[in-house]
């Protein structure tokens, strides 16, 4: 394996982080969520199949560094790594689905009883 010199390593690092920054920028521009657009509550990163993070967007929230590998592990339980192709994107954080299911549970448990008047 060829030895990486510091300049080459720096250039590769800048290219990778620049790529992920572009993804984050596109995500913000196309987002329907005001939380994403205005607060930048998002994370974009490059990870290997084991969930090791090697590039994260400078626009990402730092706390996601710890949660993204766990999220990827759960995603890979549903979609095995053998089924993924190069450059596959796995979007996560389906807040709308979580919110809707929570809303349905709340509605179902707090529904007034329908007793018929005799």
Q: What is the pLDDT of residues 71-99, one digit of tens each?
A: 888 888 888 888 888 878 887 766 555 44
What CA–CA distance (Å, rounded) separates 37 from 54?
25
1 versus 21: the higher-pLDDT residue is 21
What residue spans of the chain are helical by DSSP H?
Answer: 6-30, 34-39, 64-78, 95-109
- In angstroms, the Cα distances linking 25 to 22, 67, 69 are 5, 21, 22
- The per-residue pLDDT for 17 is 92
Rounded to the nearest integer, the mean pLDDT of the chain is 78
What CA–CA distance (Å, rounded) separates 83 from 90?
12
In the predicted structure, residue 106 carries a pLDDT above the cut 50:
no
With a threshold of 0.75, does the pTM exceed it? no
- The per-residue pLDDT for 18 is 94
């Amino acid at each position: 394996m060829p030895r990486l010199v510091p300049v080459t390593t720096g250039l590769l690092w800048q290219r990778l982080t620049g790529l992920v920054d572009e993804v984050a920028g596109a995500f913000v521009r196309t987002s329907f969520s005001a939380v994403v657009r205005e607060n930048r509550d998002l994370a974009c990163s490059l990870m290997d199949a084991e969930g090791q993070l090697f590039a994260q967007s400078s626009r990402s929230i730092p706390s996601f560094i710890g949660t993204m590998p766990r999220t990827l592990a759960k995603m890979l339980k549903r979609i095995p790594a053998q089924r993924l192709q190069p450059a596959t994107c796995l979007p996560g954080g389906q807040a709308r689905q979580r919110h809707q299911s929570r809303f349905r549970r709340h509605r179902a448990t707090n529904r007034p009883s329908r007793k018929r008047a005799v």
